[in-house]
Structure 1
Amino acid sequence: LGMRELAKPSNLSPAGCWFECGAMQLHLGVDPDFRPARKAHPALLVADLAEFRARLAQAGAIVREDMPMAGYHRCFTEDPFGNRIELMQKL
């Protein structure tokens, strides 16, 4: 995603990780009863979806189309754990 990893505050659980890109931060936690989210998912707004898709394909990631949504180009991929991730570019 082009994000750099941040050090978490020492008073928080060492499990999970934090990332940032510009003013945006993403905080990820750990659930001991983890099951991949196949329907519920985050959506990330990207500036150039075609470029992002090409980078995903080059890395061997799966990219899937879905129903069109007014005002956006979009697709879905998965993280290494099987969680669904939506990528969107505003038209």
Structure 2
Amino acid sequence: MIIGLHHVQITIPKGAEEKGKHFYCNVLGLAEIEKPDSLKRRGGFWLQVGDKEVHVGTEDDFDRLKTKAHLAYQVEDVSYWRRVLEENNIKIIKSVPIPNFERFEFRDPFGNRVEIIKEI
């Protein structure tokens, strides 16, 4: 029986960890958490998002702009995040409306699709 979601993984290009940490930790304000020693040699880093984890792995030769796969971060103030991202030169992508939700999408600096969403 599946009882919940433990973590999700996204990828960034190999060697882009510092740029990734800047975006995810400094711009989005997510907390980095320690990876087990046995996995550190693989590169990447882990983040805490509420009671879940986002594992940021590394891989090359993958076109992130061609996938609809994405993470959706639940927030309290959508307009705040729109402003923060625009101030950091992140292009906002208009989303198809969903009843009872306010949301928008963007691509992180590596091309990963990300959604910001709030239930209204």
1:87 and 1:58 map into 2 onto residues whose CA distance is 16
The aligned length equals 91
RMSD of equivalent CA atoms: 1.6
Q: Secondary structure of the equivalent of 1:12?
A: helix
Indicate the residue corresponding to 1:23 in structure 2: 51
Indicate the residue corresponding to 2:5 in structure 1: none
Q: Deviations over 1:8-48 (max 9, x none)?
A: 11011431110124433211222243221542211111111
Q: Secondary structure of the equivalent of 1:11?
A: helix
Indicate the residue corresponding to 1:67 in structure 2: 96
Indicate the residue corresponding to 2:3 in structure 1: none
TM-score with structure 1 setting the length: 0.86
Structure 1: which 5+ runs fail to align?
none
Higher helix content, 1 or 2? 2
Say whether 1:35 aligns with 2:63: yes
How far residue 75 of structure 1 moved from its aligned partner, in angstroms, is 0.4
1:22 and 1:85 map into 2 onto residues whose CA distance is 17
Q: Quote the sequence identity (%).
A: 33
TM-score with structure 2 setting the length: 0.67
2:72 and 2:32 map into 1 onto residues whose CA distance is 20
2:86 to 54, 57, 63: 57
Q: Which amino acid aligns with 1:28?
A: V
Structure 2: which 5+ runs fail to align?
1-27
